Amino acid sequence: MTIPDNHPRAESLRIREKIIKGMHEKVVAEAGLIAHGRGEAYDYLLGEKTPNYAQKQQEVAVAMLLTSKKPVISVNGNVAALCPKEIVQLAEQTGALLEINLFYRSEERVKAITSVLEEAGAKTILGIEPEYYETIEELSHLRRIVDIRGIYSADVILVPLEDGDRTMALRREGKKVITIDLNPLSRTSLWSNVSIVNNVIRAIPEMIEDVFKLKNNNSDELKDLINRFDNYKSLQETLNFMSLRLRDLAEGKLEDPTKNLGDIKNE
């Protein structure tokens, strides 16, 4: 589909097309379209921009990745379809491993996502070789399958667009979890050590910028940044931002796009 640059929702439509294309190429599960639409609705509450609170969340997440002994970035279909080059670059800059982990898992999808990541420059991809498979016993669905070299033995895991039950299971395994989820009330957000309430399309590139800002900081400075962070207080700040924005719109900041319609007709 050709999207005209002057369309008022051009960028949003381009992102949707990436998801649709990914579904046709078996990268994205059908349910991934529903998840994307739900996230887009929450993004409206943010004004489709990165708020200050999210910038703080992203900085702490990067600090956690940089101080990790074995960081892993978990990749699902939506992430692979939306920002493959960026997720590969973030892994390279933080020293994190990339691992494919899917709820709707099939060999066809694993191969499709592997191909996308390789085209984006990924040199090593975990979660694709059965001889290295282990399981998270608490889970009964296919996301229980993890790579012994990656998620199974990681200390910090970035899980963009994650399932809540796997986040809970990873926390119970003693792992630190960073998530990117536009819903601040999801189980994923509530159970993570660091919840980034932002659109993954913005969050990943901004986290790459944060790597360059923070990578020269010493370990003590990065750990201090992490220790001062409280995920629940951060989520409260997120909800406060959303509620204040809605109140501002309700009390008069919502612009009427039709107010000059009569003048246009009379010209």
Q: Between 103 and 130, name the one with better pLDDT.
A: 130
Buried b (16+ CB within 10 A) or exposed e, 221-231: ebeebbeebeb
Contacts of 100 (CB under 8 A, 6+ apart): 75, 76, 110, 113, 114, 117, 125, 126, 127, 128
The per-residue pLDDT for 25 is 96
- Indicate whether 154 pLDDT > 70: yes
pLDDT score of 166: 86
210, 65 Cβ separation under 8 angstroms? no
Tokens, residue 88: 């590969």
Q: Which residue has the higher pLDDT, 248 or 142?
A: 248
The pLDDT assigned to 12 comes to 78
Lowest-pLDDT range, 15-29, 78-92, 136-150? 136-150
The fraction of the chain above a pLDDT of 90, given in percent, is: 74
How much is the average pLDDT of 78-87?
A: 97
Give the per-residue pLDDT at 123: 96
133-136: long-range contacts at Cβ-Cβ below 8 A with a sequence spacing of 24 or more? 136/166, 136/169, 136/170, 136/173
pLDDT confidence of residue 137: 78
Q: Is the dihedral of CA 222, 152, 100, 181 positive or negative?
A: negative
Residue 140, pLDDT > 90, answer: no
- Among 115-119, 131-135, 231-235, 255-259, which is the least confidently predicted range? 255-259
**138 Cβ contact partners less than 8 Å away, ≥ 6 residues apart:** 144, 168, 169, 172
Give the highest mean pLDDT range of 105-109, 142-146, 169-173, 207-211: 207-211
On average, the pLDDT of the chain sits at: 92
What residue ranges define each of the domains in the chain, with the CATH number in brackets? 52-230 (3.40.50.12640)
**So what's the pLDDT on residue 10?**
67
- In this predicted structure, what is the pLDDT of residue 262? 62
pLDDT for residue 254 = 79
The pLDDT, as a whole number, for residue 182 is 96
Quote the pLDDT of residue 11.
Answer: 75
